[in-house]
Amino acid sequence: MSAVNLQIEANPEAVAEAAAALVLAALHLAEPTLTLALAGGSTPQRLYRRLAREPEQPWSKLRLFLGDERALPDGHPDRNTSMAMGALVEPLGLSTSQVIFPHAGAEDLGAAALAYQQRLLQEVGDPPCLDIVLLGMGGDGHTASLFPGEPPATGWVAAVQAPRDTAARQRLTFTPATLLAAKQVFVLITGRDKAERLAAVFEGRDEGPLAQLLDARRGETRLIVDTAAASGLAGSQ
């Protein structure tokens, strides 16, 4: 595994606090903009709510992207867009030009992925070098919408199908290549249900998308996890 900075915090609130401090520091240093890709899920949501409590920051520098999205109608509560709008974009009053999200409600998801890829390259260059990509990890080991055992997602943004029994199987996601090209990647993981998989990732027993990413990353990569998620790691007791 390449150099990964592992930070263990007491609880999910402390994970959000630590990630918020990193995002705010980057926002202050950014010139002229900070490009930030959001993740879905409850752990990242706690971070967005925390950031939304800081209205006095230089938010006009922020350009927001979405690392993955579910192909559901616009406004659907399970869309990552809906969560990000409610937890971060609306409370901070960000302008529409700052919010560069995919149109995953589109009927043709392949075309939506291509359109989002074009927009991404236009905004951050080719290869797409986002300043910060936020990720989570599902209990099944998926990160962004890259699922263990599914065919590799190619290009920079791909339309993919999640495994059977997954909510909202049609998804649009950044590919591993995009996650590798980012300047900084922060992976936020909380909860005991993630402990076994996280330990497997660190012990080289997991070949899922997160393990592959951590192996291949050369840029700064931080895992910010709570003690429950870290409870399977050697020396964590």
Give the residues lining the site for ligand 6PG (CB under 6 A): 39-44, 68, 80, 136-138, 142-144
Helix then strand count (H, E) for the chain reads: 8, 10
Q: How far is the CB of 53 from ligand 6PG (least distance, A)?
A: 19
Q: How far is the CB of 226 from ligand 6PG (least distance, A)?
A: 11
- Is residue 157 classed exposed, middle or buried when 0-12, 13-18 and 19+ CB atoms within 10 A define those classes? buried
Q: How far is the CB of 40 from ligand 6PG (least distance, A)?
A: 3
Nearer to ligand 6PG, 34 or 146 (CB): 146
| Chain position whose Cβ is nearest to ligand 6PG | 41
Nearer to ligand 6PG, 128 or 209 (CB): 209
3-state secondary structure of 58: coil
C-alpha to C-alpha distance for 178 and 121, rounded to whole angstroms = 10
Q: How far is the CB of 23 from ligand 6PG (least distance, A)?
A: 16
Structure tokens given for 145: 């919408």
Nearer to ligand 6PG, 34 or 84 (CB): 84
Structure tokens given for 218: 């050369």
Q: How far is the CB of 227 from ligand 6PG (least distance, A)?
A: 16
Nearer to ligand 6PG, 40 or 148 (CB): 40
C-alpha to C-alpha distance for 110 and 97, rounded to whole angstroms = 24
Structure tokens given for 28: 């202050």
Nearer to ligand 6PG, 160 or 181 (CB): 160
C-alpha to C-alpha distance for 133 and 129, rounded to whole angstroms = 10
CA-CA-CA-CA torsion sign (15, 16, 17, 23): positive
